[in-house]
Amino acid sequence: MESTPQPTPDLPEVISDIPEWMMAPQADPVTANHPQVLREYTNMVYEIALEHVLPLLVSGRTLDSILSEYHSNIEPEKYRAWIYRNPQRMERYQQAMEIGTEAIEEEILRIADASNDNPEDVQRSTLKINTRKWIMQVRNRKRYGDTKSLDVKMTTIQQDHLAALKALMDENVIDVTPTQMGDGE
């Protein structure tokens, strides 16, 4: 027994004979009415993407370039915010960025070795090298940054020594309060 298509109440009679696969896509009722489901789906997509992104960051690539080639439409700003909301993700991301500086270091050597005698090529190579050096300083301050630190070493004075110093100071206090002189002077 063949079933004939039944007209749907919200479509005119003429359109009801069109197969469903030819109809314009409608908003997914599950995600449209349930933001929690959409949030969970986005979180799942981001988690899967992270396993793809981290190895490419280690190879020296930038997050923007990786996400522009990724099959899902992930906005770099939102993705970074998602990464930084979780301390473990943030630590993994920062470690990948630090390790990626070594790949950039090798790239700098290739650029420097490949430069020609043409002044324009030399200037372009210099700009590329300086840009990559700056990226390395930002990504891995401990190893490549111009950090200035001051090491201060203090010894702990025990409480009785500190009390003895205070007592010694109290005994040797000289009163320097000005006094009024008499009229005869």
CATH of the domain at 120: 1.10.10.60
| Position 1 in a domain | no
| Position 174 in a domain | no
Instruction: Count Cβ atoms within 10 A of the Cβ of residue 57 and give its class: 0-12 exposed, 13-18 middle, 19 or more buried.
Output: buried
| Position 34 in a domain | yes
| Position 184 in a domain | no
E-strand ranges in the chain read: none
| Position 9 in a domain | no
Q: What is the pTM of this model?
A: 0.55
Tokens of 149: 């630190």
Closest to 98 in 3D by CA, of 37, 45, 144: 144
What pLDDT shows up at residue 140? Answer: 80
Are 147 and 141 contacting, i.e. CB atoms less than 8 angstroms apart? yes
Query: 104: domain range?
Result: 30-144
Number of domains in the chain: 1
| Position 167 in a domain | no
Tokens of 182: 């008499």
* pLDDT tens-digit series, residues 75-126: 899 999 999 999 999 999 999 998 998 888 888 888 888 867 788 888 888 8
